[in-house]
Chain A
Amino acid sequence: MRTGMVEGPLDPRALLDEVAQHRNGATVLFVGTVREMNEGEAVSGLDYSAYAGMAESELASIAREAAARWATNDIVVEHRTGSLQLGEASVVIAVAHPHRGEAYEASRYIIEELKKRLPVWKREHYVDGRAEWVNQTADMGHGTSDMGARQA
């Protein structure tokens, strides 16, 4: 198992190779990429900023949870920081397991938890020249003080 916040371009093929083991019969590779439209806005690119230390530890926690729940250590997750262009990979998740069902479920768990918990923020740049933090307009509160309870 390995996780990392990465400044340079991600290489999905390298992650596939990293989880390859003869004990596994299924490998799920998830690649999240920068999309040209978001909520009706034409996007030209984006910047990710992260709470560096916490993002590293939270990403590792999420992968450990998946490893324990689906009983595989063949998990590698990388998330980008910095500036990304359209089509570039923002996150890559490789999960290998003896069976496909578990591989799919573990992969899905990791991306969904990461979207809820990873302290990373996205500033989108639009074709018309504006830029905005995603999810942070108007009242930005999650109000999820239960997150502390769950993880305490």
Chain B
Amino acid sequence: MTVRVLLFASYADALGASEVALEMPAGALVRDVLARVKSLASGKRIPDKPLVAVNQRYAREDQAVTASDEVAIIPPVAGG
């Protein structure tokens, strides 16, 4: 399945993209998607356990991901 992963701020700068499409096996978890992103060129810039959102809600790393999900890696936030 193909999973869309959104990147923001310094993570988007590091990977040179605000979105990547990754081919993942069915049943993949958030942590598997993260490992794949970190294996991309410049992906090491992303920490081991960043915040992740699935369908715009903060998610745990053991949450399952499906092809229709919108996964986002959330850099340290700086609002306010």
Contacts and interface: CB of A to CB of B under 8 A. Distances in A.
B32 interface: no
A53 B53 CA distance: 12
Nearest to B61: A145
Interface of A: 32, 48-51, 53-55, 57, 79, 90-91, 111, 114-123, 133-136, 139-145, 147-149, 151-152
How many interface residues does chain B have, given as a range? 20 to 34
Contacts of B76: 135-136, 140-142
A143 B49 contact: yes
B48 A143 contact: yes
A120 B8 CA distance: 9
Given A111-B80, A114-B79, A148-B60, A49 B9 contact: yes
B8 A118 contact: no
B64 interface: no
Chain A CB within 10 Å, residue with most, of B48, B57, B74, B79: B79
Contacts of B61: 145, 148
A30 B76 CA distance: 23
Chain B CB within 10 Å, residue with most, of A122, A142, A143: A142
Given A53-B56, A121-B9, A136-B10, A145 B63 contact: no
Given A121-B10, A142-B49, 10 more contacts: A51-B8, A51-B56, A57-B57, A117-B77, A133-B75, A136-B9, A140-B75, A143-B49, A148-B61, A149-B60
